[in-house]
Amino acid sequence: MAAIDAIFDTASAVRSGRRAAEEVVGECLAAITAADSSLGAFLHVDADRALAQARKVDIVRRQGAILGPLAGVPLAVKDNMCTTFGATTCGSKILNAYHSPYNAHVVEALESAGAILVGKTNLDEFAMGSSTENSAFHTTRNPWDGARVAGGSSGGSAAAVASGMALGALGSDTGGSIRLPASFCGVVGLKPSYGRVSRYGLVAFGSSLDQIGPLTRNVRDAALLLSVISGHDERDSTCVPMPVPDYVAALDRPVQGLRIGISEEYFGEGLDDAVRSAVEGAIEVMCRQGAVPSRSTCHT
């Protein structure tokens, strides 16, 4: 697969005028046209709307206005997040014709930061599944190997990001639905702490567990997306009124003295050797830089 631009670099290239938003968005739309009939990452793509918004970003920039942190960046959202464009189906034919009268908080947040939403991504029906084979519309395939699943339930978002059909995407995670597909497709996925991101406009699965989070190609992009979608929103009463730290700046802090919990239960029977050595390797890298491993078990 060709090199795919990071969100961070793309946003700064658009802000400085080195790249036109229309061109950046056009590249993702071309990738969708070329690959999505075999991958099935999207349930809905609105190319005209995306290109029109991209042109608007380019015009605003030429007029000298200050652009948002995600200006011109093509992103995708899982189809259980309400958008006033297209349908919001949750991967179910029950909602085949549901057109939300309002946007989810995260959709408002991304768009006011200048992001361009290219479409809505596939999921296991109502987010209940771990493979994205259980969408009522089609299966999403793994971009690295079409014979394998993308993981789920945010499999469409993970496959879209891994294949460059969007530079980043949002998924939702109740019991692994961001983390699993991110891992299956080789992208970064983060489930934020409960209450960090407003669930307003997220179709509920398990209301006391659901959180929306980013899927991106690198950690810095995940930090950037998280900083845009986080924060208090009175329309979700379980959203915490706490300030949002500068997650991107926090990445430069050393890991010296950081205590890393490692639960033995994750290293049990059936663990693939390649996975084990990758995780152990990551622990070793952290420890060499001064992090302190703290191994524990749930069995007492």
Partner 1 sequence: MASSLDSSLVRHVAHLARLEVSEEEVARFADQLSSILNYMEQLNELDTAGIQPTAHAVRLTNVFREDQVRPGWDQDRALQNAPARHGEFFKVPKVLDQESA
Catalytic residues: 78, 153, 177
Query: Going by DSSP bridges, is the β-strand pair 116-121/141-142 parallel, antiparallel, or unpaired?
Result: unpaired
Smaller CB separation from partner 1, 5 or 233: 233
Which residues in the 210-249 window bind partner 1 by CB under 8 A? 234, 237-238, 240
Measured from the CB of residue 238, what is the shortest distance to partner 1 in angstroms? 6
Helices (H), 1-100: 7-16, 21-39, 47-62
Establish if 300 lies at the interface with partner 1 (CB under 8 A).
no
Q: In sequence order, which residues have a C-beta less than 8 Å from that of residue 79 and are 6 or more positions away?
A: 43, 44, 87, 88, 89, 90, 91, 120, 121, 122, 123, 156
Measured from the CB of residue 211, what is the shortest distance to partner 1 in angstroms? 11
Measured from the CB of residue 95, what is the shortest distance to partner 1 in angstroms? 9
Single-letter amino acid, residue 27: E
Establish if 195 lies at the interface with partner 1 (CB under 8 A).
yes
290, two tokens: 């001064």
When binding is defined by CB under 8 A, the residue of 66, 97, 147, 274 that contacts partner 1 is 97
How many whole angstroms separate alpha carbon 138 and alpha carbon 66? 41
Q: What would you measure as the largest C-alpha separation in the chain, in angstroms?
A: 65
Establish if 298 lies at the interface with partner 1 (CB under 8 A).
no
Among 4-12, 94-102, 138-146, 157-165, the segment contacting partner 1 (CB under 8 A): 94-102
What's the count of helices (H) and strands (E) in the chain, helices before strands? 9, 10
Measured from the CB of residue 244, what is the shortest distance to partner 1 in angstroms? 16
Smaller CB separation from partner 1, 9 or 236: 236
Binding mask 154-173 for partner 1 (x = CB under 8 A): --------------------
Which residues in the 52-71 window bind partner 1 by CB under 8 A? none
Helix (H), strand (E), coil (C) string for 224-287: HHHHHHECCCCCCCCCCCCCCCCHHHHCCCCCCCCEEEEEHHHHCCCCCHHHHHHHHHHHHHHH
How far the first Cα of the chain sits from its last, in Å, is: 47
- Residue position matching structure tokens 């075999």: 38
DSSP conformation letters of 170-201: EEEESSSTTHHHHHHHT-EE--PPTTSB--TT
Measured from the CB of residue 45, what is the shortest distance to partner 1 in angstroms? 22
H or E, element range at 227: helix 219-229
When binding is defined by CB under 8 A, the residue of 4, 194, 231, 287 that contacts partner 1 is 194
Measured from the CB of residue 232, what is the shortest distance to partner 1 in angstroms? 11
The DSSP secondary-structure symbol of 106 reads H
Smaller CB separation from partner 1, 65 or 240: 240
Smaller CB separation from partner 1, 88 or 163: 88
Contact footprint for partner 1 (CB under 8 A): 97-99, 101-102, 194-195, 208, 234, 237-238, 240
